[in-house]
């Protein structure tokens, strides 16, 4: 099978066994690769197990196009049952770890069981070993990666920090300072006492047609390079639209979603003055160099360094649009140097910076409302805008230290349930996953996408925010973000398309440069398979249905497709989206519309007929019957 390594690698940490299995022959046509294979394996092999038990599995899936040279085909997908949401967990990083896995001869790595002592899995082509990692336990991700790289020359790493070790349910997996951040999969590694994974592969991925691949790479590299948006991406990164989303659109949630744009960042600016959180201000001052994911020719990532002042010595890959929201506007912090420090602490300790920020902003609001006091917080006065207090709290969360660490280490849903007193009403999450940087009250399609997302509230499962904000993209035009009409089909198609991106491992930040129309020639050059756009979208839909069926089997249906109380009851108070919110009846209508577009039951469960039509008779029998 050209384009595939041909094998899955299974490493069991309970009995220290290593097995290799051939990819079943029907897999490429049915599931295409990467996340498609992983979703099927997870569905088949994982039923009703506690996410932190030895029975849970962590699956690492390089994208199908990884290590082929195709520009921005850089992603590695990590999949498991999420300990944070208890549904299908997915976290994605631009990581050379997936490239190394594939070049070592594996299309998937499946980690099973649980070690007694801390260990590292070391993959060096055919040689796979489980090695002692007692000396690495307790170390931050930068220290661990550096040590592993000194021991295993030219290896790629995926490691956890103290947060993962302490089973914080918002712990991430660090891939050389690119994070597979969401859904708490760092805690799955921690539960297995797996401090890290190291991979080195020396084979070349065999492709179907080298000449065709070369011309695909030349064509799309040129397209990416010359696209006008690329220049801005390279110069300012993912936060390039900071001002636009705040002032022009009014959907940058701030102060724990009490505001729809970050007032403090703008209200006192003189004419033409830039907000200090705007990369047009800070990128030229602090950027040391761009940092691409592997095979990316339009690097939005950047290394920034602070050389003076209180945070001198801070150097990190960031900040990103999402962290400028979660650790900036959301906490009312508008000092970019402080923000870099907070971002770095999250990265080094292995916390999902988005989830951590939303959990702290909830605690700040609870403190402000008198629902938490200094005693509950180990003496910390947790006020909006307080950087030092936030730093202290972040570390306590990662270490699960003191009352404050115990309260906040597991994300905002758990924290609000522990506190009670009505604090659940301002806990900003969907299915337990803290929401990203788009105020759903002023973006109804994005609100629906967040409610129904298989992994909980996020922006990348559907990637519909750009379409909503601009009003058009790809096959969509005339999209009205304030209207709840016609959102079901819009969200469904975006999800299917984004599933194709994850399966191929292509960066979603290139979606304005190549749409799905670019993919058939890439897939053909790499695998030899002729698949047109509709077949690719069908595979995206099939894989999405497997993930939804996984959730349905665990008991998650319509009731869980919901939004935070604040989004459903409190209109945006000021700014360009003033007055907008998602009325509960509107959400119900959008859910009906969406389930209908999907061919699911009113309860949001894939029906037997739909699953059979998608070529999933095995799942139809188990899940679809009666629907
Ligand atoms: S655009 Fe940014 S996130 Fe995407 S592959 Fe390039 S560097 Fe990575």
State pLDDT tens for residues 203-233. Answer: 999 999 999 999 999 999 988 888 888 889 9
Task: Name the phi and psi angles at 503, rounded to 5.
Answer: -65, -45
Higher pLDDT, 271 or 440: 440
What is the residue-wise DSSP string for 79-96? EEE-TTTSSEEEEEEE-H
- Write the CB contacts of 157 (distance below 8 Å, at least 6 apart in sequence): 97, 144, 145, 148, 149, 175, 176, 196, 197, 198, 199
User: Which of 293, 378, 51, 68 lies closest to 203, judged by CA?
Assistant: 68
Mean pLDDT of all residues in 461-487: 95
Evaluate if residue 577 carries a pLDDT over 70: yes
What percentage of the chain reaches a pLDDT higher than 70?
Answer: 100
- So what's the pLDDT on residue 228? 86
Distance in angstroms (rounded) separating the CA atoms of residues 263 and 362: 18
Distance in angstroms (rounded) separating the CA atoms of residues 33 and 406: 40
Evaluate if residue 513 carries a pLDDT over 90: no
Distance in angstroms (rounded) separating the CA atoms of residues 432 and 457: 8
Give me ligand 1 centre to Cα 93, in Å.
Answer: 10
- So what's the pLDDT on residue 517? 85
Contact of 505 with 62, CB cutoff 8 Å: yes
Establish whether residue 318 lines the binding site of ligand 1, counting it when its CB lies within 6 angstroms of any ligand atom: no
Cα–Cα distances in Å, from 553 out to 47, 480, 496, 550, 605? Answer: 8, 35, 21, 5, 9
Task: Name the phi and psi angles at 624, rounded to 5.
Answer: -75, -25
- So what's the pLDDT on residue 393? 98
Averaged pLDDT of the chain:
96
Locate the ligand 1 atom nearest the alpha carbon of residue 237 and give its number: 2
Cα–Cα distances in Å, from 514 out to 107, 208, 236, 338? Answer: 25, 22, 20, 36
- So what's the pLDDT on residue 624? 65
Among 72, 221, 232, residue to substitute to test ligand 1 (most atoms within 8 Å of Cβ): 72
Distance in angstroms (rounded) separating the CA atoms of residues 329 and 262: 5
Cα–Cα distances in Å, from 624 out to 12, 200, 424, 614? Answer: 32, 42, 33, 12
Among 62, 69, 94, 291, residue to substitute to test ligand 1 (most atoms within 8 Å of Cβ): 94
For residue 290, list its beta bridge partners: 302
In this prediction the pTM is: 0.97
CA 6-12-16 angle, 5° bins? 115
Residue burial 217-230, b: 16+ Cβ < 10 Å; e: rest: beebbebbeebeeb
Contact of 57 with 45, CB cutoff 8 Å: yes
For residue 430, list its beta bridge partners: 433
Whose C-alpha lies nearest to ligand 1, atom 5? 72
Helical segments of 369-513, H only: 387-399, 402-408, 411-419, 444-452, 465-470, 487-504
pLDDT digits (tens, 9 = 90+) for 157-205: 999 999 999 999 999 999 999 999 999 999 999 999 999 999 999 999 9
Give the pLDDT band (50/70/90) at residue 484. very high
Distance in angstroms (rounded) separating the CA atoms of residues 43 and 347: 31
Is 135 strand, coil or helix?
A: coil
Give the pLDDT band (50/70/90) at residue 101. very high
Unique residue bearing structure tokens 């002729």:
530
Is 236 strand, coil or helix?
A: helix
Establish whether residue 34 lines the binding site of ligand 1, counting it when its CB lies within 6 angstroms of any ligand atom: no
């Amino acid at each position: 099978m050209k384009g595939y390594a041909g094998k899955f690698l299974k490493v069991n940490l309970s009995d220290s066994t290593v097995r290799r299995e051939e990819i079943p022959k029907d897999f490429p046509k049915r599931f295409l690769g990467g996340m498609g294979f992983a979703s099927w394996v997870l569905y088949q092999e994982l039923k009703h197990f506690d996410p932190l038990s030895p029975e849970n599995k962590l699956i690492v899936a390089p994208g199908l196009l990884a290590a082929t040279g195709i520009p921005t085909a850089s992603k590695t997908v990590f999949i498991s049952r999420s300990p944070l949401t208890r549904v299908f967990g997915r976290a994605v990083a631009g990581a050379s770890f997936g490239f190394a896995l594939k070049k070592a001869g594996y299309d998937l790595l499946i980690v099973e069981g649980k070690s007694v002592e801390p260990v590292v899995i070391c993959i060096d082509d055919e040689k796979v070993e489980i090695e002692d990692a007692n000396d690495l336990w307790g170390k931050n991700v930068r220290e661990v990666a550096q040590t592993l790289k000194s021991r295993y020359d030219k290896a790629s790493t995926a490691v956890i920090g103290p947060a993962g070790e302490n089973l914080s349910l918002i712990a991430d997996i660090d891939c050389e300072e690119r994070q597979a951040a969401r859904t708490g999969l760092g805690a799955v590694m921690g539960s297995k006492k797996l401090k890290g994974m190291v991979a080195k592969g020396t084979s070349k991925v065999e492709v179907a047609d080298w000449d065709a691949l070369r011309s695909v790479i030349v064509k799309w590299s040129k397209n990416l390079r010359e696209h006008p948006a690329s220049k801005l991406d390279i110069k300012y990164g993912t936060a390039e639209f900071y001002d636009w989303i705040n002032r022009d659109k009014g959907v940058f949630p701030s102060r724990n979603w009490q505001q729809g744009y970050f007032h403090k960042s703008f209200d006192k600016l003189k004419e033409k003055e830039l907000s200090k959180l705007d990369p047009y201000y800070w990128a030229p001052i602090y950027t040391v160099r761009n940092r691409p994911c592997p095979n990316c020719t339009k690097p939005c990532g950047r290394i920034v360094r602070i050389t003076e002042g209180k945070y001198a010595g801070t150097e990190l890959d960031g900040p990103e649009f999402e962290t400028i929201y979660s650790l900036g506007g959301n906490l009312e912090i508008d000092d970019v140097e402080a923000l870099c420090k907070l971002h770095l602490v999250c990265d080094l300790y292995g916390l999902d910076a988005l989830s951590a920020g939303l959990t702290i902003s909830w605690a700040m609001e609870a403190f402000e409302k008198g629902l938490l006091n200094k005693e509950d917080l180990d003496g910390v006065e947790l006020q909006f805008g307080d950087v030092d207090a936030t730093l202290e709290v972040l570390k306590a969360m990662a270490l699960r230290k003191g009352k404050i660490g115990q309260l906040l280490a597991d994300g905002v849903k758990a924290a609000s349930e522990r506190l009670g007193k009505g604090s659940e009403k301002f806990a900003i999450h969907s299915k337990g996953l803290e929401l990203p940087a788009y105020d759903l009250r002023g973006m109804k399609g994005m609100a629906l996408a967040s409610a129904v997302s298989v992994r909980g509230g996020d922006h990348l499962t559907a990637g519909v925010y750009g379409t909503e904000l601009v009003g058009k993209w790809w096959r969509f035009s005339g999209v009205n973000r304030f209207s709840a009409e016609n959102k079901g089909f819009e969200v469904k198609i975006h999800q299917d398309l984004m599933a194709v991106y994850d399966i191929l491992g292509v960066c979603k930040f290139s979606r304005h440069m190549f749409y799905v129309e670019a993919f058939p020639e890439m897939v053909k050059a790499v695998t030899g398979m002729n698949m047109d756009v509709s077949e690719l979208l069908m595979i995206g839909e099939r894989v999405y249905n497997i993930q939804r069926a996984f959730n349905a089997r665990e008991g998650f249906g319509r009731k869980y497709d919901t939004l935070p109380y604040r989004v459903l009851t409190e209109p945006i108070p000021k700014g360009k989206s003033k007055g907008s919110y998602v009325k509960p009846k509107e959400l119900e209508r959008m859910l009906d519309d969406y389930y209908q577009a999907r061919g699911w039951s009113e309860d949001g469960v894939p029906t037997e007929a739909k699953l059979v039509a998608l070529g999933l008779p095995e799942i139809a029998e188990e899940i679809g019957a009666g629907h």
